[in-house]
A and B are shown apart, each in its own frame.
Chain A
Amino acid sequence: MTKYNARGFARLGQAGSIFGMSLIENMDKYPVKVLSSDMSVVAGLDRFKRTRPADFYNVGIAEQNLIGLSAGLASEGYRPIAVAQAAFITMRSFEQIRQYLGYMKNNVISVGINSGFALTFFGNTHYSIEDLTLMRSIPGMTVLSPADAGSAVKAFEATLNHDGPVYIRLTGGLLSPIVYKDDFNFTIGKAISLKDGSDITIFATGIVVANALKAAELLMEDGISASVVDIHTIKPLDKDAVMASKHSKLIVTVEEHSTVGGLGSALSEVIAETGNMPAMLKLGVQDKFMEVGDYNYLIEQSRLTPILIKEDILTRLSNKKI
């Protein structure tokens, strides 16, 4: 990366920063082919398409074929990047990702744009709150979920150097919140501690990491000291980072995703197997489809605003025998 520009990245959002900037800087270093299922304009791929038309394939509205073509190209030594709406690349093409990327181990970088609630008034067909569940169930997949636009760029660049299939989940829109103001080290599989605290540990992923950080600040006012950890890699999960929370009074997970199978589930698997771990509170979409609204409405309905995260943590702490 030439220069880490948190504000510039935030303006472009996660997809815009990756495809409008990082991809252009990196395209000569790797044998990239970029494929999209009629989502290249939305993803910010115009510049790449203009610069490298021979390396771009628009397969039309056909996500299954998107993954098939990407796998075929990967099998011949290219580094394909398949780009589509998160809901469709992971659900319509789930079997293709399982077979071609998982079973056949083709090194495709699959990128789900507009994950979580990014598509607001498009409704539940376009929300992607199961993609982590699905992608992490596939053997051999690396599953990334960056917290802001800068870390999305870092995740993408780490992926270019990574041997193995990857899913990158992109959340948030333009003018997204900044978690990482300055350049930082991003290592696949290594969680990042954003704030130290002595009482509880909040593990968060994706664009709502910013809300978790704000909730931690609000909790200070109530005398609760919270650690906040960015789990940017859902698989392989940083088990050491989870174990490091064993002296906390409570483990909290925060995700703009279903609590069935996502970050909360992934952590609970480690915690249950370890034993002698703190109790857990899983915040996120509680196994339901949403009433439709704008982004703030959806986040509020899912109780993922900083204030509601704080409230749910305080409620849990007051009900809990410690």
Chain B
Amino acid sequence: MTIDNLVQIDHVTFGYDRRRLILTDVSLEFPRGKVVAIMGSSGSGKTTLLRLIGGVIRPQSGTILFDGEPVDPSDTDKLFAVRRRLGMLFQFGALFTDLNTFENVAFPLREHTNLPDSMIRDIVLLKLNAVGLRGAASLRIAEVSGGMARRIALARAIALDPELIMYDEPFAGLDPISVGVTANLIRSLNDATDATSLIVSHDVEECFQICDYAYLISSGRVAGHGTAAQLRASEDPEVRQFIRGEPDGPVRFHYPAGPIEQDLGLSG
């Protein structure tokens, strides 16, 4: 085990039922202080990896280590202790709609610390300032745009200065400017806080601009991994198809089916 890895996934196999495995014998490493991307097509198991690291689900086999300790979903106290050290940005923010912007960011501080209101106020405003939304502190969640909601959720995710920040499809559904802003924020926050960032995305170009290392998940296994330059230069057909966005290749366009003549009743 490399002590420089904050998170280590060793030979993990997982499926929501025994007949269909999502991940088969995958191993990944997430070095401290780095931005690592997990890429792959829809349904490849990227978000499942986040759920495994967060202890939401348990693998059928293999181990997941956080800072050298196994992530055990059955031990609630230990699991919650791990979760207090990580922050997660959900795909659509998952903001609490009954709280305003300020209270959303303050939520983890109020739940996990005994800080006085004045100090919480300062911390929240600093976090909102880091994502460019200090002026939006009093807005209700229904009043903010999708991009703003994503940034508020990011401010909430870093409220407790986590060691690991996980991003689930942070660029999905955003306009080009918001994508650029979000990517810039992910990189700058990671560098400023010395955190480790894990991005799940299928946005190749944005990930390559900000990540130090990347894994490509395909058909439930690691199809390729390396730096952006290494992956661009890869000759592996699955890696090439994904990086170049080719419509057909090892990942087939057509969902498995019999001959079309049979379905149309044309076979003799």
Q: Do A and B bind each other?
A: no
Q: Which residues of B contact A (CB under 8 A)?
A: none
Give the B-binding residues of A (Cβ under 8 A). none
